[in-house]
Structure 1
């Protein structure tokens, strides 16, 4: 029996050797590709990538959904110090809402802008002031104080005011709140605007927009417009209240972010055509 085992072993070895020689050995694995060097891209392309990753559709605000909509995007900040320095300026060139709308944060004493470090506030280009929510009993937390940090907003150029309704209309009679007159909410809103104008060091433009139900000659709109004109600021109308359909558009916030990083010279950029009331 032993010899048979040896013969079988020899035959098996022969067969294995013949089979191995019939098939070529696996080719050596290719040389690993070199890592992609992101910062070798032109600055314009890098900033466009940041824009695609970081820009959201609505104004940035305190909202419980931020952990899904915004928080994952901010992981980009952690990649490297250099990437953070470029990316945060692009992120904060988006519109940021001054006072929150969500019910959980509506009465907070520390809006989003007050929670940001001063270096992030310095990168903000545009703020939105939403008027209408809480009109029957304006929140005491919604007032312009030094704690908001508006004086740190040295890049803030545009204030967008969106009016949801004007309680001076007669249909609101009986619903304005205790001891409130038809002008109470109007003056509350004008005081907010005055405070912003006084504290923001380089504000240039105020854009007023509203729902179609709010007329351009409504007392609140007239009061806001007069305040803007007296402050010597540029007044423009938003898309719902009369912005021309053929008006050119430009990502001014991104352009300014590039300029602050020294990546472009704004003096050589084409001027944006602005529509003035």
Structure 2
């Protein structure tokens, strides 16, 4: 009988491998069995000691009285400037505050009312790239927010030598939707009739007439506006051509006059400021009277105080 030569056994022809679990499988099975035994002995006790998450109940905001809710809205919008205008910083200062409008319909109605009734909207913009825009803030607002406004501001002075073309009162501006406006604030930054502006005016009386026509058009769109509040920079005089023309427009339409805090005007005439002494001229000459030194005023047309020294 011929014997086969010894050599490596070809693959697939060797003896069948012994069937049975590997050491790792056996270890996993023993751990699982031990875990089941422990769980069976401690049915009422959980294996992990993690504390139960406490369920937080939502705050019932609408159960508060409406007065308190409006007070909370006021604190929320407290950091927003009183006067609303087109500005490149609005995204950082105002936009994130208005996100509360998206909460629900009731919050939108209450918060929008609280926001627009406590802020003044500027009719025509004065900042940067928005100065010459043909679509001011009021024109960008919807009729409902415009109806919440209670005060508007008209700022006169910027562009006094060449007003922007967008500063015009028309239907697109939306003044007729501002049915709750009761006060129009007119702030005058500069009076072109002042001698300082001499030589830079477009023409004599041009901006004064433009301002009168603009105020007349604004008031004509809002016959329900009762009060016109005037204020100005310190250099503007109440007796100047600019202010006299604006006051005549307001009184001619039977509107009540009010005065802002910046200038401090009242219903009386503005007191004349004393003229300064020119070139350090002496205000008087010394003289002796009964052993006292007296300063005798110089007759230069000014009223000087008499200083007496012992």
Q: Is the 8 A contact 1:216 1:241 kept in 2?
A: no
For 1:149, the equivalent position in structure 2 comes to 174
Aligned-pair distance for 1:29? Answer: 3.3
1:70 is paired with a residue whose SS is helix
2:65: which partner in 1?
Answer: 42
Structure 1 residues 201-249: Cα deviation after superposition (integer angstroms, max 9, x where no partner): 42011110011111121111111111111111111000022268xxxxx
Structure 1 runs (4+) greater than 6 angstroms displaced: none
Scaled by the length of structure 1, the TM-score of the pair is: 0.75
State the match for 2:116 in structure 1.
Answer: 92
Give yes or no for the alignment of 1:68 onto 2:115. no
**Computing the radius of gyration over CA atoms, which structure comes out larger, 1 or 2?**
2
* RMSD after superposition: 2.6
> How many aligned positions are there?
226
How far apart, CA to CA, are the structure 1 residues paired with 2:59 and 2:230? 45
Q: 1:28 to 1:243 in 2, by over 3 A?
A: farther
- Which residue number corresponds to residue 32 of structure 1? 55
| 1:106 aligned onto 2:106 | no
Q: Point out where structure 2 has 5 or more consecutive residues left out of the alignment.
A: 1-47, 267-310
Counterpart for residue 224 of structure 1: 246
Aligned twin of 2:215: 193
Bigger share in strand: 2
Instruction: Show CA shifts across 1:73-125 (max 9, x none).
Output: 00010011100011111211210111111120111111010111111111111
TM-score by length of 2: 0.68
1:26: how far off? Answer: 5.1
Find the counterpart in structure 2 of residue 263 from structure 1.
none
What are the equivalent positions in structure 2 for 1:1-277 lying under 5 Å apart?
28-29=51-52, 31-55=54-78, 56-93=80-117, 94-177=119-202, 180-181=203-204, 183-242=205-264
Instruction: Work out the CA distance in 1 between the residues paired with 2:265 and 2:56.
Output: 51
Tell me the CA shift for residue 57 of structure 1.
Answer: 2.1
RCO higher in structure (CA 8 A, sep ≥6)? 1
Partner Cα distance (1:222, 1:129) in 2: 16
Q: Which of the pair is proportionally richer in helix?
A: 1
Flag structure 1 segments of 5+ consecutive residues without an equivalent. Answer: 1-24, 245-277
Distance 2:120 2:51 in 1: 53
